[in-house]
A and B are shown apart, each in its own frame.
Chain A
Amino acid sequence: MKTRLIPVLLLKNGQLVRSESFQTHQILGNPVHEVERFNQWTVDELIYLDISDDDWIDGREDMKVRRESSALGILESVASRCFMPLTFGGRIRTLDDVRDRVQRGADKITLSRAAIETPSLITEAAKSFGSQAVVVVIDAKANGAGGWDVVYDHARRSAGRSPADWAREVERLGAGEILIQSVDRDGSGEGYDLDLIRSVTGATTVPVIAVGGVGRLEHFAASVVEAGASAAAAANIFHFVELSDRRAKRAMAKAGLDVRL
């Protein structure tokens, strides 16, 4: 199997944004225009995460943006023109929210805060749509004692448990994939937190997607080669580095990984 490379697109109030430490969000532009580029590159997969706090929509650019700017409208629009796997997450609280995303063209949905507050939703969603459709996002922050705590609500609250422990639990509850995200490395460009990723891959048997910290194309491969992840993901670098997908794939191939070129 080919090792997957996955761009993550962050949506906030209908705009594509860059994130740093889960706090600073710089607007990058129109999420529907941007996806055309990823489609032309024939990327392996795309993950959209809606990190808006509310339903307010920033439709300042033009009418087209205004019309398509709700996150669900963006999903529908992307699904109608991109023939690749789409994961959609953010603001999912109920089974109806899951169904709504799947019906609009999401192959997988992500649960983060809802997984912590209502763990039974993981099982319900897996029963209704299959485990393969349920990705649990684990946001982790260093706890100052040499380990990490699972955090949620934009990293403002702690769930009081370790990522490895929570990963084991969500797999048991029916998650088909786990996305492990380092809050500390978000937007840092320092590379993945390999110890964090390793702690999760060591605790689970489902595929693990690593995200958080990629600043150079050479960073991608380590998540797989050194930390056992199944897929390497990133957000910011895909917007700021020319031809990032092709060049990242070449760097991964150079590191000995079998990738789709």
Chain B
Amino acid sequence: MNLAIVNYGMGNLLSVRNAFASLGAEAEVVEAGQDLERAGAIVLPGVGAFGEAMKQLRARGLEEALHREVMERKKPFLGICLGLQLLARRGHELGVNDGLGWVAGEVRRLDVAPDLRVPHIGWSEVEGRGPLFAGIPDRTAFYFVHSYHFVAEDPAVVHGTTVYGHRFTSAVAHENVVAVQFHPEKSHKWGLALLANFLAFARSA
């Protein structure tokens, strides 16, 4: 299966690529929309600001290409961190910006008591369900780095939750689209197990 990692200038793609390589899956880093046509599965990583990320996706013709490959052709898709948040209809980071709009919801700043620091940086437990979490012990800790979180309209898409001040959505899944707020590529063996689960999910699709 041809695995594509989308490069839109937002963050450390090398780690995601290295992590998949350690699982025997050589991924291609893709920067142009037409290159997604030959992909069997697509990974959208990324860190940084919501609005800037959408701007970069549009400037590179990737928004349209992603919509075609993931929403119309139903290719298996994994979003990581900002790659989860961009699924929303809207993001409220540095102004209000439209997202990809594939999953009904909005992205809002973590609203926590003053004794908790933002960004939320560190290892937090995830209560996960569904194919991504197969074989992973419940409440395994994964590595998070974020200041914003996805607020889903439909609870059915929520496949993982985590508590930081409040309980927030840390994994979503809808048909061929799965995404996580944390960084599996930075979460040692259980992170790699989750990526292996995505490969299995993609191959069975």
Enumerate chain A interface residues (CB-CB to B < 8 A).
1-4, 42, 44-45, 79-81, 83-85, 102-107, 127-133, 176-177, 205-208, 230-231, 260
Contacts and interface: CB of A to CB of B under 8 A. Distances in A.
Interface of B: 11-12, 14-15, 18-19, 22, 47-49, 114, 117-124, 141, 143-147, 164, 183, 185-189, 191-192
Given A1-B124, A83-B187, A230 B117 contact: yes
B119 A105 contact: no
A99 B121 CA distance: 21
Give the dominant DSSP class at B's interface.
Answer: mixed
Contacts of A127: 49
Given A107-B12, A107-B145, A1 B123 contact: yes
A27 B183 CA distance: 34
Contact of B14 (A42, A105, A176, A207): A105
Given A79-B18, A103-B14, A132 B147 contact: yes
26 contacts: A3-B122, A44-B122, A79-B14, A79-B15, A79-B18, A80-B18, A81-B18, A83-B19, A83-B188, A83-B191, A84-B187, A84-B188, A85-B183, A103-B12, A104-B14, A105-B15, A105-B18, A128-B48, A129-B48, A130-B11, A132-B47, A132-B145, A177-B121, A205-B117, A207-B117, A207-B121
B22 A2 contact: no
A207 B120 CA distance: 8
A44 B123 contact: yes
A205 B12 contact: no
A1 B19 CA distance: 24
B78 to A, nearest CB: 16
Contact of A2 (B11, B141, B186): B141
B21 to A, nearest CB: 8
A130 B14 contact: no
Contacts of A4: 121-123
A84 B147 CA distance: 20
A3 to B, nearest CB: 8
Given A83-B187, A85-B143, A207-B117, A102 B123 contact: no
In the A-B complex, the 8 residue pairs with the smallest Cβ-Cβ separation, listed nearest first, are A130-B48, A2-B123, A42-B188, A132-B145, A1-B124, A105-B14, A207-B117, A85-B186
Nearest to B21: A80
Contacts of A84: 143, 186-188
